[in-house]
């Protein structure tokens, strides 16, 4: 967990009462921004030890112990400062850690054309938070800010704006707002990635990560059930021609079908990636579709340990003998009931 130094009382800070005296025994309560829900702060950059809530100041009005306050990156806080008798001194809201980059916003707008004397406008495409100064309204290109504006308005609710007086026919009314879209996150499609090679071409992180997929992108996990892993594996194989199985022991019901031209399925090594077959059928079947017969070319399957199944690894089937052109390498097969490797047709 990443923590960042608090801008309120972060390090070596001293607090005072309203008369300028050190706030001995003062109390600092920390909440999630805009709420009364307690939010945890920490005593050091390690983020290992949480402060009491409230934090109790020492005789000099300083944070006891480490003298530091650290905030969870991506969390917005509210600080409430009180004296030793729990009397409010100050409230500080919407506080984030120093150098936090967690806030991302999306700008939205909607334009409507007024009818003669129209006062009420119902927004269709956007919503806003009334009373937070997040909405701007323009009439014929002029910002209608404040009660003294030519066309003063009230924020009736999250999708309704009511003008004090009627607008003229044909007035162009533009509503704009910003919406926070994420906490400490940026969409991978807008993060540039430049490969560290001579002559390389800049792309983005999303495209780079999508060059192959992992079964864990679809919910597979060494701790998941056989049925859940089977579904994740099947979905991954249908979604991409290049599928990685990370290190771990994955229980699957089997069979796992690898079909199509150019399919590449690979693990982290025979001693690292293991498929344990829990069902009664074969473990992995290459070159045979469940419902159709097809020719399979350039299939690559490597660096996996398969344990269990009638046959741990099977190529083709008795009903659909197929020509397989590809590569099977660094595959460990154990504990199959009828045989580790079974071929239904010749390999070219």
Compute the mean pLDDT over every residue in the chain, rounded to the nearest whole number: 86
CB under 8 Å to 182, separation ≥6 — which residues? 102, 104
* Section 57-70 average pLDDT: 93
> Does residue 292 have a pLDDT over 50?
no
pLDDT tens digit sequence for 113-163? 999 999 999 998 888 878 777 889 999 989 988 777 889 999 988 889 999
Question: What is residue 347's predicted lDDT score, i.e. its pLDDT?
Answer: 45
User: Which band of pLDDT confidence, cut at 50, 70 and 90, is reported for residue 320?
Assistant: low
As a whole number of angstroms, the distance between CA 62 and CA 123 comes to: 50
pLDDT tens digit sequence for 236-287? 999 888 999 999 999 999 999 888 788 899 999 999 999 999 998 889 988 7
Question: What is residue 101's predicted lDDT score, i.e. its pLDDT?
Answer: 57
Question: 257 vs 94, 149, 151, 301, CA distance in Å?
Answer: 52, 68, 67, 11
Residue 118 φ/ψ region, left for φ over 0, alpha for ψ in the -120 to 50 degree band, beta for the rest: beta
Tokens of 248: 């771990």
Model pTM greater than 0.75? no
Tokens of 10: 């972060």
Question: What is residue 221's predicted lDDT score, i.e. its pLDDT?
Answer: 94
Question: What is residue 318's predicted lDDT score, i.e. its pLDDT?
Answer: 61
Of 184-193, 206-215, 310-319, 330-339, highest mean pLDDT: 330-339
Question: What is residue 106's predicted lDDT score, i.e. its pLDDT?
Answer: 65
User: Which band of pLDDT confidence, cut at 50, 70 and 90, is reported for residue 102?
Assistant: low
CB under 8 Å to 103, separation ≥6 — which residues? 96, 180, 183
User: Which band of pLDDT confidence, cut at 50, 70 and 90, is reported for residue 291?
Assistant: very low
Question: What is residue 346's predicted lDDT score, i.e. its pLDDT?
Answer: 47
CA 166 to chain centre: 45
Beta-bridge partner residues of 274 = 249, 305
Question: What is residue 131's predicted lDDT score, i.e. its pLDDT?
Answer: 78
Tokens of 53: 């809530």
């Amino acid at each position: 967990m990443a923590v960042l130094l608090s801008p309120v009382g972060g390090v070596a800070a001293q607090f005072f009462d309203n008369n300028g005296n050190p706030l001995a025994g003062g109390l600092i309560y920390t909440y999630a921004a805009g709420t009364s829900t307690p939010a945890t702060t920490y005593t050091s950059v390690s983020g290992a030890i949480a402060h009491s809530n409230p934090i109790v100041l020492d005789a000099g009005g300083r944070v006891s112990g480490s003298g530091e306050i650290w905030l969870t990156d991506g969390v917005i806080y509210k600080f409430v400062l009180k004296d030793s008798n729990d009397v409010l001194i100050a409230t500080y809201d919407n506080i984030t850690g120093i150098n936090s980059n967690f806030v991302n916003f999306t700008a939205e707008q909607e334009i409507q054309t007024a009818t003669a004397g129209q006062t009420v406008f119902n927004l269709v495409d956007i919503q806003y938070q009334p009373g937070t100064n997040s909405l701007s309204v323009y009439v014929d290109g002029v910002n209608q800010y404040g009660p003294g504006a030519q066309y003063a308005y009230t924020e009736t609710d999250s999708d309704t704006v009511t003008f004090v007086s009627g607008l003229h026919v044909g007035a162009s009314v533009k509503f704009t707002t910003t919406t926070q879209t994420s906490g400490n996150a940026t969409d991978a499609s807008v993060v540039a990635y430049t490969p560290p090679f001579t002559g390389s071409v800049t792309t983005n992180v999303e495209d780079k990560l999508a060059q192959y997929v992992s079964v864990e992108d679809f919910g597979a996990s060494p701790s998941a059930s056989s049925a859940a892993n089977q579904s994740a594996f099947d979905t991954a194989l249908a979604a991409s021609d290049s599928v990685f199985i990370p290190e771990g022991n994955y229980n699957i019901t089997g069979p796992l079908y690898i079909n199509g031209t150019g399919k590449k399925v690979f693990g982290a090594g025979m001693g690292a990636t293991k498929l344990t077959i829990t069902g009664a059928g074969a473990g992995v079947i290459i070159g045979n579709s469940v419902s159709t017969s097809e020719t399979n070319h350039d299939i690559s399957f490597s660096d996996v340990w398969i344990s269990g199944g009638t046959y741990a690894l099977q190529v083709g089937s008795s009903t659909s003998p197929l020509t397989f052109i590809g590569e099977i390498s660094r595959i460990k097969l154990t504990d199959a009931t009828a045989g580790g490797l079974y071929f239904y047709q010749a390999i070219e």
